Copies of this chain bind each other. A is one copy, B any other.
Amino acid sequence: MQNFRIFKQVPRLLFGEGSLSRINELLPIKNQKSDYYIYVIDDVLKNSTILSNIVIDEYDLIEWFPATKKEPSTIQVDELKNSILERKNNIMPLAIIGIGGGSTMDIAKAVSVMLCNEGSSRNYQGWDLVPNPGIYKIGVPTISGSGAEASRTAVLMGADRKFGINSDHSMFNAIIMDSTLIKSVPVDQRFYSGMDCYIHCVESLEGTMINELARGYADKALVLCDKVFLENGDDDMLMTASYMGGVSIVNSEVGICHALSYGLSIELDYRHGFANCVAFDVLDEYYGNHVVKFREMLKLHNIVIPKNVCKGMSEDSINRMIDMTLKMERPLTNALGKDWKNILTRNKIRELYLKM
């Protein structure tokens, strides 16, 4: 008997076009004048009509998060926490709403947790290190694929590593899946983020840490990814795929691609979905036909993955990427078994990076 973790799910979901306007059905009710919500919103939405769907009052806070600049960091989380507490005289919000892609939702999750736990967010990067429940939180994806809406993980860049806060307390209490919100995402962004989902499913299905329930989610999400990226599947399908792929990952584990992509993000400042695509493109040896199908998708959507991305990189940089990859013990155990260190040696990792 393999002892699987308790399978966690977001208990309440609103699904469907226009459902963001029903957010009040999910929000805790304000009773006092000082009660407020915090909206953390991807700043690419600053000129969109997003706020017309929500009733915001003068006490609420809106944080426009610069998600496209770089991967979210522990420093940003700590600063945001302090700034909120300062502006609100240590009064806690009733709810935090994260509206954006994986990065923005991860920031919302991390701030929710950090408002109720001492010290810096970097102390909680790892598995199940968060003692206190966070603030009630709602996730609203405006780009699909990361699965952050479904996951326990808030991935943050630290000083020398990219690592998730993985805790039951970092899961959303509710999510809203409104496909009108992802309609204006640029084609390449939509693709890279969608491939995050595709790769989650592949890593989950090809790994050892999976059970039939998580397989159910990953299988279905993969079928939906095929429909969306190889046929004429619609945005509701893409949102469903992202969610189900996320559920599968919460309850299984990622694999080699994610382990390598973290190195790329650390050294080259690549965004997560893009880094995943760059890495996945050299993983025929591990994910065979799935990589072939990925290349069909690239072709169909006219996306070109850059090559020789590590050319001219210093030996120090490459070693830092290798170090980062080797820190991903759980994903690599999932992909290659307990003996992974003998299979994915430093030399092998270097070889893979140089192939990219």
Q: Which residues of A are at the interface with B, using a C-beta cutoff of 8 A?
A: 1-4, 6-19, 22, 25-26, 174, 177, 211-213, 215-217, 219-221, 224, 234, 236-237, 239-240, 243-244, 251
Contacts and interface: CB of A to CB of B under 8 A. Distances in A.
B15 A212 contact: yes
A242 B141 CA distance: 29
B11 A25 contact: no
A2 B9 CA distance: 24
Given A236-B212, A239-B212, A240-B213, A11 B9 contact: yes
A75 B217 CA distance: 39
Given A1-B18, A11-B11, A213-B239, 4 more contacts: A1-B16, A7-B15, A216-B220, A217-B220
Contacts of A12: 6-9
Nearest to A25: B6
A13 B216 CA distance: 14
Contact of A244 (B6, B10, B211, B216): B216
Contacts of A9: 9-13
Contacts of A211: 15-16, 236
A213 B13 contact: yes
A221 B237 CA distance: 17
A11 B8 contact: yes
Contacts of A3: 16, 22
Given A7-B12, A11-B8, A216 B212 contact: no
Nearest to A221: B216
A219 B220 contact: yes
A119 B216 CA distance: 41
A2 B25 contact: no
6 contacts: A3-B22, A7-B13, A212-B237, A213-B236, A213-B243, A216-B220
Sorted from nearest, which 3 A-B pairs have the closest CB atoms?
A212-B236, A7-B13, A220-B220
A155 B145 CA distance: 38
A226 to B, nearest CB: 13
A225 to B, nearest CB: 12
Nearest to A11: B11
A13 B18 contact: no
B1 A17 contact: yes
Contacts of A216: 220-221, 224, 240, 244
Nearest to A214: B15
A217 B174 CA distance: 19
A116 B3 CA distance: 35
A105 to B, nearest CB: 18
A239 B11 CA distance: 20
A76 to B, nearest CB: 29
Nearest to A244: B216
Contacts of A7: 12-15
A3 B20 CA distance: 11
